[in-house]
Chain A
Amino acid sequence: MAAEAGVAHGTVFLHFPTQEELLVSAIEAFGLRVAERLHELASKGSGLQSVLEAHVRGLAEHEAFYARLVEESPALPDGARAALVMIQSTLSHHFEQAAEADRAAGRIRDLPLHLVFNTWVALLHHYLVNRELFAPGGSVLERRGTELIDFFISLIGVGAEGRGERE
């Protein structure tokens, strides 16, 4: 890392006294980039579909790093896991606002928010962790992202039949 950054070996330890500090700082820096990108992309559209599109697009830019983070999260130190939760919190903040708007407009069903959120994250993470099976040698988010978003929205959406009943 020191070679990559073009600094002396010891300089790394001045900024990051422990391995955990380096790890947490790297995840936080990544989280900030994801948060800013999500803010930027999600504000261009409205509704849950736009948030999910922004999520997939933002993560696709750092797919390998994020997938590695997901794979190793159970073994990460507490501070690093907290940083990962905060990345998910950035998403859940936008997710909640969009889901509330969609629910009020009758576009999605009235389901427990945390289960809807966790279902999306579980689906996405399954594809990321097994990306070599779903998109060998390429980006699974670019190849399968739209399919996953469309399926998820259809899962929680109010279908034509449901809308008729409401009316």
Chain B
Amino acid sequence: MKQCIACGMPMEKPADYALGDTSKDYCVHCARPDGSMQSYEEKAASMAAFIVRTQGFDKAAALETARKTMARLPAWRGRG
């Protein structure tokens, strides 16, 4: 099973991939409407918003967690 290079989500079925394209290395949640991959800042903001919405973290703590996580993913390794 492939893993999204930008958020780490396992990608199993075509619907998990950006634009349903299984040749892409990133998932539907990390794609812009035109299918291109979100930038580092866009991804950090969307990941933090997701953590706040579903787990209720403080905004700054969620952003810090998102950056720490992203720093270990292939698309953003070493950043953060």
Where the two chains meet, the residues of A that have a C-beta atom closer than 8 Å to any C-beta of B are 24, 28, 32, 35-36, 39-40, 43, 78-79, 81-83, 85-86, 88-90, 92-93, 95-96, 112-115, 117-118
Contacts and interface: CB of A to CB of B under 8 A. Distances in A.
B55 interface: yes
A35 B54 contact: no
Given A24-B72, A114-B56, A117-B55, A89 B50 contact: yes
A89 B10 contact: no
The A contact surface, by secondary structure, is helix
Interface residues on B, range: 10 to 19
B55 A32 contact: no
Interface of B: 1, 3, 8-10, 12, 50-56, 65, 68-69, 72
B9 A35 contact: yes
B5 to A, nearest CB: 14
B69 to A, nearest CB: 5
B8 A86 contact: yes
A114 B55 contact: yes
A88 B54 CA distance: 10
Contact of B68 (A36, A39, A78, A114): A78
